[in-house]
Amino acid sequence: MKILLAQQNYHIGNFEANTAKILEAIAAGKAAGADLVVCSELAVCGYPPRDFLEFNDFIEQAHAALDIIKAAADTIGVLVGCPSRNPEPKGKNLFNSAYLLYEKEIKGAAHKTLLPTYDIFDEYRYFEPAIAWNVLSFKGRKLAVTICEDIWNIGDDPLYRVCPMDELIGQQPDIMINLSASPFDYLHAAGRKDIVRQNVLKYRLPIVYCNTVGSQTEIVFDGGSLVMDAAGAIVAELPYFAEAMQLVDWEDGRMLSASAAADAQPNTTKIAATTEPTLTDASATTFGGNKGADYNIHEIHQALLLGIRDYFSKMGFTKAIVASSGGIDSAVVLALACEALGAAQVSALLLPSQYSTAHSVDDGVQLSVNLGNHYDIIPIKDVFETYEQALSPVFKDLPFNVAEENLQSRIRGAMVMALANKFGYILLNTSNKSELATGYGTLYGDMAGGLGVLGDLYKVQVYALARYINRHREIIPQNIIDKAPSAELRPGQKDSDSLPEYDVLDPILYQYIEGRKGPEEIIGMGFDRALVARILKLVNNNEYKRNQFCPIIRVSPKAFGIGRRVPIVGKYLS
């Protein structure tokens, strides 16, 4: 039997485009002589559809699209994810399902059993879990079809009380097939591969694992679909962060070979499968030694590019603007935006005040020259002084403080948003995770934007990413990387005036946010007690700011946003 994996980039609710992609995969499968095409979880409607699932019309459109796909599944089988209705009066109205289509008919369906309801996932809000499990028969073979989380309940500390494959294995299936929508984070890819292998070794069956690719607002799906033989050897591994198709030969329980799918027609997707890119030493990075985390800058770089690119393309946006300060964060965002969208589609706005250093302006200009993007310079000194004069009757003779500092940031926010509105730009926010965690940002000022590009990267990771961007040539001026970070809102200001050095701050933040460790646990790792107390209080007291922030491209295992639900008025550690 020949099986075609279709690793594709779907668009939530765009049934026409999603159906067209699936039909392309079917055409490619037919041209390659495939018996079965495997698509990913909820491919018909896109994942995660969230509250769209509560609209009857949305489900009707999904089923209408499924009918079109079914008509194309005449001489070839198709496994495709789509929501289905629960016919029973009890329970949720929908299942998260995988349909087996063949001979223009629905030959069977498998419903998802394990519904993740943690971090970014909220599936039990919408779906009823399966309570019966049956293999799907196709061309004399028994297919054990599962959906994403269904294969993750394995190991010494399972999250769920039931395991679908434990139920299916008694029916003597010939192969496991998993339709997945497994998101990227910089600790996840290796663990995902291990989970797939654990299933193979436990059940002594080969597996076809088809993951989706693409970005849906803040969530990035990295692909990396896999085929393993019954011994746990990888027969095929599809690219990361790219659409691809892969044809696999399977016979009598053995995976015989793998090859890229041939074109069936001019617009058919054809991307040769490759292994994970070879990485330079600079790509594998850690911060804080054993107090921090290992991460791969190449993967983060690719995830952010995909996140920017898909956000713009799926929203119908074309042009971006970045408030360029001559600092490291805005420099990295500008470089990423130009790479993702093209320099011609990106504009930079430099907004120096009387406290901005000349080299910051020069560095910002040189960055845009290196990138080839348009830039404008609008000094805000006169605007700021006008505000000071207008406020002087109320401010009286009170000393300069954070009010005047934030006023500069809000003037810049108003200026850059004015250009965004006038010329149809989307403002890319440049705040990093260290700043967002500690409240080192101004609401309605530098926290403005339509998409947070660096909001899930700590400051030390931003520096590592800058060095990676410069791996072939100097794009970000070296002075931007070398100089001490500063908001430049008063004379001689440095970030370290208000915050600990980032190589000390970031590992503590990581252990609290990603590691979910309490203060005593973090102190026990060797950190200063008073410093830990101060930092954790900053994190908790600034939840109200983060609650008003724009969507953040998620690259870590615990990002600010929908995956971290902390009370704003909670008393814990505050």
For residue range 74-84, what is the model confidence (pLDDT) as tens digits? 999 999 999 99
Distances in Å between the alpha carbon of 458 and those of 222, 293, 480, 559, 560? 21, 11, 17, 11, 12
Under a CB-based contact definition with an 8 Å cutoff, are residues 272 and 260 in contact?
yes
* Residue 285, pLDDT score: 59
The CA distance from 96 to 247, in Å, is 26
Residues contacting 4, CB < 8 A, separation 6+: 25, 28, 29, 32, 34, 36, 37, 38, 245, 246, 247, 248, 261
- In this structure, how many other beta carbons lie within 10 angstroms of the beta carbon of residue 290? 9
**Is residue 148 annotated as a catalytic residue, yes or no?**
yes
CA atoms within 13 A on the CB side of 401: 5
Give the pLDDT band of residue 144 (cuts 50, 70, 90): very high
The CA distance from 368 to 347, in Å, is 9
Q: Is 61 in a helix, a strand, or coil?
A: helix
- Marked catalytic residue, from 24, 41, 237, 514: 41
CATH class of the domain comprising 282-546: alpha beta
* Residue 260, pLDDT score: 63
* Residue 258, pLDDT score: 67
- For residue 383, what are its two tokens? 């605007």
Residue with more model confidence, 280 or 476: 476
Q: Which amino acid is at 242?
A: A
Q: Which amino acid is at 545?
A: K
Under a CB-based contact definition with an 8 Å cutoff, are residues 320 and 346 in contact?
yes
Give the pLDDT band of residue 56 (cuts 50, 70, 90): very high
Beta strand 219-222 with 226-228: parallel, antiparallel or unpaired? unpaired
Average pLDDT (463-489) is 92
* Residue 413, pLDDT score: 97
The CA distance from 570 to 227, in Å, is 46
Answer whether residue 257 shows pLDDT above 90: no
* Residue 356, pLDDT score: 82
DSSP category for residue 561: B
* Residue 99, pLDDT score: 98
Q: Which amino acid is at 98?
A: A
* Residue 255, pLDDT score: 64
Distances in Å between the alpha carbon of 557 and those of 49, 64, 287? 21, 36, 16
- Marked catalytic residue, from 39, 45, 82, 148: 148
Give the pLDDT band of residue 491 (cuts 50, 70, 90): confident
CA atoms within 13 A on the CB side of 357: 17
Question: pTM surpassing 0.85?
Answer: yes
Average pLDDT (411-421) is 97
359-399 pLDDT per residue, tens:
889 999 999 999 999 999 999 999 999 999 999 999 998 99
* Residue 253, pLDDT score: 56
Q: Is the peptide bond before 183 cis (omega within 30 degrees of 0)?
A: no
* Residue 281, pLDDT score: 35
The CA distance from 225 to 209, in Å, is 6
Distances in Å between the alpha carbon of 254 and those of 15, 24, 165, 184, 196? 36, 27, 19, 30, 17
Instruction: Give the residue extent of every domain in the chain.
Output: 2-269, 282-546
Q: Which of these ranges, 6-10, 34-38, 268-272, has the smallest mean pLDDT?
A: 268-272
The CA distance from 176 to 255, in Å, is 12
CATH fold of 2-269, please?
Nitrilase/N-carbamoyl-D-aminoacid amidohydrolase (3.60.110)
Question: Do 2-269 and 282-546 share a fold?
Answer: no
Under a CB-based contact definition with an 8 Å cutoff, are residues 282 and 472 in contact?
no
Helix axes 297-315, 328-341, angle to 10 degrees: 60
Answer whether residue 282 shows pLDDT above 60: no
